[in-house]
Chains A and B, each alone.
Chain A
Amino acid sequence: MRAPVLAVEELTKIYRLTDWRAAKKEIRATDGITFQLYRGQTLSIVGESGSGKSSLAKQLVGIEPPTSGRILINNQDLAKVARKERRKAFQKIRMVFQNPHSSLNPHARIGATLEEPLKINSKLDSKQRRELVAEVLKKVGLRAEHTQRFPHMFSGGQQQRIAIARALILDPEVIVADEPLSALDVSVQAQILNLLMRLQEELELSYVFISHDLGVVEHISDQVLVMYRGQMMEYGEVDQIFDAPKHPYTRKLLSSTPSYRNTVKILKKTHTREFKDKAAVSSGCPFAARCPYAKQQCIESRPEVHNIDGQLVSCHWPLESNAEG
């Protein structure tokens, strides 16, 4: 197969907290995450809040340096790039944030916001920059005259279009979108999702799409990576994950998502007790405390990653495809 546009190897980020009671704590925000993303494809990262999705996104675009592990774009290791080349390397991977209202500068006109990356990263003169801005605005469904306006003069959906335009303006290959729909109204979400899909086809973009909305994920993705407490639980093609989840956590996520035309009966009382999540599960499987199938081994040792027909599952006892939850 072709080389991946983006390859992530054993990405780990450890935050060290210094407690005033002198006990030092380590938080593994991402723990050994590995994946590959190919041109024109979408990889979705799903998981509950606190699972490390956003931390992963920040590392991908260079906001936070990873503690260990590698991020390769077109086979180029981002950590090893010479300082002078760094900016250039990161032009290939751009980010769209969750809330456009807070990710756009309220004091800057849209034109200025969109021109800024060009000023920093290119040698274009102001006329060329303006032309490029007008072009990219058209791509996202806005008009060139919008450059003179301020962010507050736009609706949430339009603001998100501007944020997407800002990510596009340096002609990236990968876009990392961290919950790009969750701040938007339902009827506007569909517009933005359609826009993302159209842009992907036109520009052969690859997306790392972070979301907790499994319906959207199923709609847009090629591959899905399920995270829990910083670790990969399951990683595979979208059909594999949604039709035959092999990890108990994936199954739990799927069965808790209501869907009005779903074949899976939801809201079943399988496991309604809230477990003490904080019970330190450092050595074993992170999901063991909530897993209905957990056995002694799950608490004692961390499961290996099983490869079942290309679907990666991190579980001692991966579920049979047709096993009853």
Chain B
Amino acid sequence: MSLLHIENLSVEFPTHKGYVRVLDKVSLRMKEAEVLGVVGESGSGKSMMALAVMGLLSPNARLTADYMSLNNQDLMKLSGEARRQFVAQNASIIFQEPQSSLNPCFTIGAQIRETLKLHGVRQRRKQQEQAIELLNAVGINEPETRLRQYPHQLSGGMNQRVMIAMAVAARPKLLIADEPTTALDVTIQAQIIELLLDLNRQHGMGLMLITHDFALLSESTQRVCVMYSGQIMENASTRNILESPRHPYSRALLESIPHIGERHHKGQRLYSLKGIIPAIDHLPVGCRLGPRCPRASKECVKTPRLETIENHGLVRCHFPLAKDSLAKGSEL
């Protein structure tokens, strides 16, 4: 039984050169109450995947999948309206910038009440009670006052808490958090992640944490999915990926970010991949990392498949790294 099950999900957008595939055959499974991390740079398709699951893609997008289910309900078999309602009840999403997700013209209270109304709470008094309850649950003090305030009167961290309150109003089975802390200060970031994990533990709510920050995932997730250019490059347990990444891209991501607690001698260079992430309408032949990969060889013009590596997970590479290559510090 799985909470989320996707097989070969692709998303394409029309351009003047024809359809461009921004998400290429992504397959993914989440167990109930699992915390899954999705990492990748901008343009890697991680947000596209989230939007596709939520059914929030723009109408001109073309979505194809072999199978897609949420909470054991096959989404492909539902009609548009039924699908929308089902997803609304079972999954929610929060975005990067709470300030731009909330409507500046309405009070916090009005916006929470609207959500509750959509989920079938009709009486105004009940709505108010539940709104206060929700704000309490996400750790906002003086909820009665806050309900009368507008988004600009609250801090970024508070607004993100309000977003979370609205997202969990219907007790969803799955919460997708798309870079929930990127716009926030570090001290606030820790609080928000802690809140999300609390909700996960208390209500058994599955959590998909989308980010570009590996460090953030290390403490909170069980499994990590590394994406690049619209494909999944590596999918394995958090421990395995952090201790011994097998895909060159995962390792490059890990090594290119300096982390606190690591000692450096002055002037030590960071590892960096050469070049930049390719434009999605101008992908290299074969492996999409190919031109940037230090391990690339002739074989890499053939597209690698996502294959299982024993005792590790799934890796899309012709020449995966050896186990513990990171710990040994061997050359990429």
Q: Could you list which residues of chain A lie within 8 angstroms of chain B, going by C-beta atoms?
A: 48-49, 155, 157, 185-191, 193-194, 197-198, 200-201, 212, 214-216, 218-220, 222, 242, 252-264, 266-267, 269, 272-274, 277
Per-residue CB proximity of B257-300 to A under 8 Å, as 1/0? Answer: 11111101011111111101100000000000000000000000
> Closest 8 A-B residue pairs measured CB to CB?
A260-B218, A219-B258, A190-B272, A190-B256, A256-B190, A48-B185, A258-B215, A190-B270
Q: Quick check: B194 and A267 within 8 Å, CB to CB? A: yes
Enumerate chain A residues within 8 angstroms of B219, measured Cβ to Cβ. Answer: 258, 260, 266-267
- State whether B191 touches A274 (Cβ < 8 A): yes
Contact among A187, A212, A219, A274 with B273 in the assembled complex (CB-CB below 8 Å): A187
Residues of A contacting B193 in the complex (Cβ-Cβ under 8 angstroms) = 258, 267
Q: Is the CB of A273 within 8 A of B141?
A: yes
Knowing A185-B41, A187-B273 are in contact, say whether A256-B189 is a contact too (CB < 8 A): yes
Is the CB–CB distance between B262 and A261 below 8 Å? yes
Check B187 against A272 for contact (C-beta < 8 Å). Answer: no
Shortest CB-to-CB span from A30 to chain B, Å, is 18
Instruction: Please determine whether B264 and A187 come into contact, CB atoms closer than 8 angstroms.
Output: no
If A254-B260, A264-B261 touch, does A48 touch B186 (CB 8 Å cutoff)?
A: yes
CB neighbours of B188 from chain A (8 A) = 274
- Residue among B187, B253, B269 with max Cβ neighbours from chain A (10 Å): B187
- State the CA gap A39–B137 with chains docked (Å): 52
Q: How far is the CB of B160 from chain A (nearest CB, A)?
A: 11
Contacts of A197 in B (CB 8 A): 267, 269
In the complex, besides A218-B258, A219-B270, A269-B194, 5 extra interface pairs with C-beta distance below 8 angstroms are A191-B274, A256-B189, A258-B190, A260-B215, A261-B259
Chain A contacts for B252, CB-based, 8 A? 187
Which chain A residues border B195 with CB–CB below 8 Å? 272
Of B141, B220, B258, B269, chain A has the most CB atoms within 10 Å of the CB of B258
Q: Tell me the nearest residue of chain A to B193, going by C-beta.
A: A267
Which residue of chain A has its CB nearest to the CB of B42? A185
**Between-chain CB contacts (< 8 Å), 10 pairs:** A194-B272, A215-B259, A218-B262, A258-B213, A258-B216, A258-B218, A260-B215, A261-B261, A267-B194, A267-B219
Counted as pairs of residues, one from A and one from B, with CB atoms less than 8 Å apart, the total is 135
CB of A189 within 8 A of CB of B267, answer no
Residues of A close to B268: CB separation below 8 A = 219
| B190: contacting residue among A216, A267, A273, A277, CB under 8 A | A267
Q: Are A256 and B258 in contact (CB under 8 A)?
A: no
User: Is there contact, CB below 8 Å, between B260 and A274?
Assistant: no
State whether A259 touches B261 (Cβ < 8 A). Answer: yes
Chain B residues near A277: list those with CB within 8 A.
Answer: 155
- Knowing A185-B42, A201-B267, A258-B213, the reply to whether A214 touches B260 (Cβ < 8 A) is yes
By a CB distance below 8 angstroms, the chain A residues around B259 are 215, 259-262
Chain A CB within 10 A, most for which of B188, B190, B191: B190
- B212 pairs with A186, CB closer than 8 A: yes
Which secondary structure dominates chain B's binding surface? loop
Number of interface residues of B (CB under 8 A): 51
User: Taking the nearest CB of chain A, how far is it from the CB of B269, in angstroms?
Assistant: 5
The reply to whether the CB of B214 lies closer than 8 angstroms to some CB of chain A is yes
Contact of B261 among A49, A186, A252, A262 (CB under 8 A): A262
Interface residues of B (CB under 8 A from A): 41-43, 139, 141, 155, 157-158, 185-191, 193-195, 197, 212-220, 242, 252-254, 256-262, 264, 266-274, 276-277
A280–chain B nearest beta-carbon distance, Å: 17
Query: In the complex, what residues of B have CB within 8 A of residue A269's CB?
Result: 194
Which listed residue (A188, A190, A220) contacts B276, Cβ 8 A? A188
A185→B261 contact, CB < 8 A? no
- How far, in whole Å, are A201 and B215 apart by their CA atoms in the complex? 29
**A55–chain B nearest beta-carbon distance, Å:** 16
Q: Which residues of chain A have C-beta atoms less than 8 A from B185's C-beta?
A: 48-49, 212
Tell me if B257 and A186 are in contact (CB < 8 A): yes
* Cβ distance B184 to chain A, nearest Cβ, rounded Å: 9
Query: B260–A218 contact, CB under 8 A?
Result: yes
Q: How far is the CA of A212 from the CA of B191 in the complex (A)?
A: 17
User: How far, in whole Å, are A277 and B141 apart by their CA atoms in the complex?
Assistant: 13
| Cα-based distance from A23 to B53 in the complex (angstroms) | 51
A218 interface neighbour in B158, B253, B264, B269, Cβ under 8 Å: B264
Q: Using Cβ atoms and an 8 Å threshold, which residues of chain B touch A266?
A: 190, 219
Docked-complex contact A185 and B186, CB < 8 angstroms: no
Bound complex: CA of A144 vs CA of B190, how far in Å? 45
Chain B residues, Cβ within 8 Å of A257? 186, 215, 260
Q: Which of B197, B261, B270 contacts A194 (CB 8 A)?
A: B270
> A219 — which chain B residues lie within 8 A by C-beta?
258, 264, 268, 270
A191 and B272 form a contact (CB under 8 A): yes
CA distance A197 to B259 in the complex (A): 17
How many angstroms between the C-alpha atoms of A188 and B268 in the bound complex?
17
Q: Contacts of A186 on B, CB cut-off 8 Å?
A: 41, 212, 253, 256-257
User: Cβ of A262 and Cβ of B260 under 8 Å apart?
Assistant: yes
- Min Cβ gap A130→B in Å is 27
Report yes or no: A260 in contact with B242, Cβ–Cβ below 8 A: yes
- Name B271's closest neighbour in chain A (CB-CB): A190
Q: Is the CB of B191 within 8 A of A272?
A: yes
Complex alpha-carbon distance, A307 and B158, angstroms: 37
Which residues of A sit under 8 angstroms from B218, Cβ to Cβ? 258-260
Determine the chain A residues whose CB is within 8 A of the CB of B277 once the complex forms.
185, 187
Q: Which residue of A lies closest to B154 (CB)?
A: A274
* Nearest CB of chain B from residue A157's CB, rounded to whole Å: 6
Q: Cα distance A194–B187 when bound, in Å? A: 27
Q: A256-B187, A260-B215 are in contact. Are A189 and B257 (CB under 8 A)?
A: yes
In the complex, are the beta carbons of B256 and A187 less than 8 A apart?
Answer: yes
Q: Which residues of B contact A258 (CB under 8 A)?
A: 189-190, 193, 213, 215-216, 218-219
CA distance A234 to B70 in the complex (A): 50
